[in-house]
A and B are shown apart, each in its own frame.
Chain A
Amino acid sequence: MLKILIIGFKDVTLAFRDRAALLLMLAAPLVLTIGLGLVTGRFAVGGSAGGISAIPVVVVDQDGGQLGQALVDTFTSSDLDELLETTTSADPAAARQRVDDDQVAAAVIIPAGFTDSILSGAEASAPAATVQVELYANPTRPTSAGVVQAVVDEFLSRVEIGRVGGQVSVTQLLTSGLIQPQEAAAAGREIGQRQAAASAPVIQLRRATGTAAPAPAFDALAYIAPGMALMFLMYTVSNGGRTLLAERAQGTLPRLLVSPTATAQVLGGKVFGIYLTGVAQMAILIGGSAVMFNLRWGDPLAVGALVLAAVAGATGWGLLITAVAKSPSQVASLGSAVMLTFGILGGSFISLSNLPGWVQVISRITPNAWGLEAFTTLALGGRLADIAVPIGALLAMAVVLFGAAAALFNRQGLVQR
């Protein structure tokens, strides 16, 4: 038992000494959290915008409708005035010219009929094709143009949610400051009518309802931060699995096996090391984001229990990946692929509720989806009892995957004797 702990702690030490691993375990999720937080306007008030600021952008509103105005307002809102330096123009050709002359990072052109194409679709007998907002990006400033695009995308995706979410989502649009109050009433009415006509699948409403629930104001970061943490947890567990094969190749595994240490202790120690590294990573990310972003994760006891369960489920995947792969580098590439796939499936980038029903079903094989659902519940004030199902699912996942990995290891004789 003691040796299991010693091997595990040794692996945690090694993981935290590996610069590349640290970058992916800690820096990447925090940076992405900040990045996504920026585009949702989470940091605008606090003004902790970080590196990029005052991106010159020109907006042309040929629409003149409510949504066109709302998008212009978004760009000129005080929330974004540190990040963006927005000017407006009436002439699309002149705006594009300013991009070509490298005076601005991008031009956002809202064509005539944009509002109508979205809002009046419900009444029209034949729904009008959606008119596209144009983003004319400056190729020499890809990062800045990317930020502008993210702002537009975010706006459009919220309008899109509004299209199916109706009243509820207008509340959400308001809380995030993307639609100004005076527009809200009108927009809500219109979108509500649109929704009645479209009768969107109920399941897509779930997240919108949840986030706009009246009680606590939902912090977008309370969704983004656990999403990123869970995604990069998948990196940590596959990297941990990789070290098992790497130790075999570099001779330390054989050396362990000729010491008076049982094979079960050696493998137990490796698994414990993966688990402990994952728990340490989650603890640092949760603690760090709580301090840096003033983010409330919810009931500490429940958050702790959830972390333990989520890391167990993820460790199961790490072991399975290791058991399937033949070499350390195969674990690494397979691990990255799984990390990204699970990140997308599990809702780390796009809220699960916005994904098709079948994706939501498949996503249940990922620790990300269960974990994210439970973290969101806790951030909204849920207690341990409210996340019993996700915790149970994560633990069951761990048991099944540990079993499968053990069977595979056994068959290929990880340690020939």
Chain B
Amino acid sequence: MTAILEARNLVKHYGDVKAVQGISFHIEDGEIFSLLGPNGAGKSTTISMLSTLYAPTSGDALVGGHSITRQPMQVRAVIGVVPQDLALYEDLTAHENLNFWGQMYGMSGQSLRRRIAEVLDQIGLADKATKAVKTFSGGMKRRVNIGVGLLHKPRLLFMDEPTVGIDPQSRRAILDMVKDLNRQGMSVLYTTHYMEEAAELSNRVGIIDHGRMIALGTQPELTQQVGQDETLRLHVAAEADAAALADALRAVPGIKQISTTDHEVVLIVPEAEEALASAVGHANAIGVKIRSVDIQEPNLEAVFLHLTGRALRD
């Protein structure tokens, strides 16, 4: 397989802000690659450079064999971009938006009309095509935003957090659409801060934090970093309870990592069932009531926690 994208040591500074500090990765032709990272990690900045909107402070990338710094026009013909924030004309209808953007990608006439009909079907808005976008729900607008990026059948599609702030049903539809597009041969660069989305969609995942790639590989490769350890989540009634329980558990041998997020104590342990028994005992001893328990096999969230000591989402 050949790489459709090859980023080499990309750096972007906005004045004093070092948004991206040397990121390298590649995307195989035909794969879905996810960039997973918390808010402000540098995901959008990376996409802006790769899509030739901003010139990198240093570094370069090849997209479809063209340099983003020296051949931006050729790069633009290869890629489709779905920006994080909606970029549509709200006073135009869905159809008019698609028509306008299609023309900006050099499409016209019969082939454009056919393609618009296809895309409208794909995003499930064929029956709303003649309504102004401003009358749409958030989820519908997101779908039009995606449709615009798909029109010219790009070889590589950049999707920057396409599911932020929408209902679960629309989110499901979008994830299915991404998988569908990929089956038809489109390569995808997908950014998100939802571990579940990266896990569901991608072959390989890059975990990005503070402008650096802190982990990169297939999901099994990444989860191996935390070993076979499991994550045990103990949900308690009050925040003070979580802190008290965490303190009580620190003395217990075999617990590799303890952290708390509001009403939860999160333990990384080799054997969750074993740890659970001892945790319940300690909770009873200090009079803390455990409301619910969740055991997770090694996952990307745990990888992030392991590497940064922080949760992916706060």
Q: Report which A residues bind B (CB closer than 8 A).
A: 3, 6, 10, 13-14, 17-18, 250-252, 254-262, 416-417
Interchain residue pairs with CB less than 8 A apart (15): A3-B103, A6-B104, A10-B89, A13-B92, A17-B92, A252-B87, A254-B53, A255-B148, A258-B52, A260-B76, A261-B104, A416-B54, A417-B53, A417-B54, A417-B55
Contact with A along B273-286 (1 / 0, CB 8 A): 00000000000000
Q: Report which B residues bind A (CB closer than 8 A).
A: 48, 51-55, 73, 76-77, 79, 81, 83, 85-89, 91-92, 96, 100-101, 103-106, 148
Q: Which residue of B lies closest to A13 (CB)?
A: B92
Determine whether the beta carbon of A260 is less than 8 Å from that of B81.
Answer: no
Write the nearest CB–CB distance from B113 to chain A, whole angstroms. Answer: 15
Given the known interface contacts A6-B103, A10-B100, A260-B76, the answer about A255 and B91 at a Cβ–Cβ threshold of 8 Å is no
Determine whether the beta carbon of A254 is less than 8 Å from that of B76.
Answer: no
Write the nearest CB–CB distance from A14 to chain B, whole angstroms. Answer: 5
Q: Which residue of A lies closest to B132 (CB)?
A: A17
Q: Which residue of B lies closest to A259 (CB)?
A: B104
Cα distance A18–B92 in the bound complex, in angstroms: 11
Determine whether the beta carbon of A3 is less than 8 Å from that of B55.
Answer: no
Cα distance A252–B101 in the bound complex, in angstroms: 10
Ranked nearest first, the 6 interchain pairs of A and B with the lowest CB-CB distance are A251-B87, A255-B87, A260-B76, A259-B104, A258-B51, A17-B91
Determine whether the beta carbon of B86 is less than 8 Å from that of A251.
Answer: yes
Task: Name the A residues within 8 Å of B88 (CB-CB).
Answer: 252
Determine whether the beta carbon of A255 is less than 8 Å from that of B83.
Answer: yes
Cα distance A416–B56 in the bound complex, in angstroms: 11
Determine whether the beta carbon of A254 is less than 8 Å from that of B87.
Answer: yes
Determine whether the beta carbon of A258 is less than 8 Å from that of B53.
Answer: yes
Cα distance A262–B76 in the bound complex, in angstroms: 11
Cα distance A78–B104 in the bound complex, in angstroms: 61
Q: With A251-B83, A254-B87 given, can you name 18 additional A-B contacts, CB distance below 8 Å?
A: A3-B103, A3-B104, A6-B104, A10-B89, A13-B92, A14-B89, A14-B92, A18-B91, A252-B88, A255-B81, A257-B53, A258-B53, A258-B76, A258-B79, A260-B104, A260-B105, A260-B106, A262-B73
Write the nearest CB–CB distance from B85 to chain A, whole angstroms. Answer: 5
Determine whether the beta carbon of B77 is less than 8 Å from that of A250.
Answer: no
B81, B88, B96, B104 pick with most chain A CB within 10 angstroms: B104
Task: Name the B residues within 8 Å of A416 (CB-CB).
Answer: 54
Q: Which residue of B lies closest to A18 (CB)?
A: B91
Cα distance A259–B53 in the bound complex, in angstroms: 10
Cα distance A251–B44 in the bound complex, in angstroms: 13
Write the nearest CB–CB distance from B152 to chain A, whole angstroms. Answer: 9
Determine whether the beta carbon of A258 is less than 8 Å from that of B92.
Answer: no
Task: Name the A residues within 8 Å of B83 (CB-CB).
Answer: 251, 254-255
B52, B55, B79, B91 pick with most chain A CB within 10 angstroms: B91
Cα distance A250–B90 in the bound complex, in angstroms: 10
Write the nearest CB–CB distance from A331 to chain B, whole angstroms. Answer: 18
Task: Name the A residues within 8 Å of B106 (CB-CB).
Answer: 260
Cα distance A29–B81 in the bound complex, in angstroms: 42
Q: Which residue of A lies closest to B82 (CB)?
A: A255
Cα distance A252–B54 in the bound complex, in angstroms: 15
Task: Name the A residues within 8 Å of B105 (CB-CB).
Answer: 259-260
Determine whether the beta carbon of B89 is less than 8 Å from that of A260.
Answer: no
Task: Name the A residues within 8 Å of B48 (CB-CB).
Answer: 254
Task: Name the A residues within 8 Å of B148 (CB-CB).
Answer: 255
Given the known interface contacts A6-B100, A417-B54, the answer about A258 and B89 at a Cβ–Cβ threshold of 8 Å is no
Write the nearest CB–CB distance from A11 to chain B, whole angstroms. Answer: 10
Cα distance A17–B87 in the bound complex, in angstroms: 18
Determine whether the beta carbon of B73 is less than 8 Å from that of A260.
Answer: yes
Determine whether the beta carbon of A258 is less than 8 Å from that of B91.
Answer: no
Task: Name the A residues within 8 Å of B91 (CB-CB).
Answer: 14, 17-18
Task: Name the B residues within 8 Å of A252 (CB-CB).
Answer: 87-89
Task: Name the B residues within 8 Å of A251 (CB-CB).
Answer: 83, 85-87
Write the nearest CB–CB distance from A328 to chain B, whole angstroms. Answer: 14
Cα distance A417–B12 in the bound complex, in angstroms: 11
Task: Name the B residues within 8 Å of A3 (CB-CB).
Answer: 103-104
Task: Name the A residues within 8 Å of B76 (CB-CB).
Answer: 258-260
Write the nearest CB–CB distance from B89 to chain A, whole angstroms. Answer: 6
Write the nearest CB–CB distance from A260 to chain B, whole angstroms. Answer: 4
Write the nearest CB–CB distance from B55 to chain A, whole angstroms. Answer: 5
Task: Name the B residues within 8 Å of A256 (CB-CB).
Answer: 104
Task: Name the A residues within 8 Å of B101 (CB-CB).
Answer: 255, 259
Q: Which residue of B lies closest to A252 (CB)?
A: B87
Write the nearest CB–CB distance from B13 to chain A, whole angstroms. Answer: 12
A252, A254, A259, A261 pick with most chain B CB within 10 angstroms: A259
B79, B88, B103 pick with most chain A CB within 10 angstroms: B103
Task: Name the A residues within 8 Å of B92 (CB-CB).
Answer: 10, 13-14, 17
Task: Name the A residues within 8 Å of B52 (CB-CB).
Answer: 257-258
Q: Which residue of B lies closest to A262 (CB)?
A: B73
Q: Which residue of A lies closest to B100 (CB)?
A: A10
Given the known interface contacts A14-B92, A417-B55, the answer about A260 and B77 at a Cβ–Cβ threshold of 8 Å is yes
Cα distance A14–B91 in the bound complex, in angstroms: 7
Task: Name the A residues within 8 Å of B86 (CB-CB).
Answer: 250-251
Task: Name the A residues within 8 Å of B51 (CB-CB).
Answer: 258
Task: Name the A residues within 8 Å of B77 (CB-CB).
Answer: 260
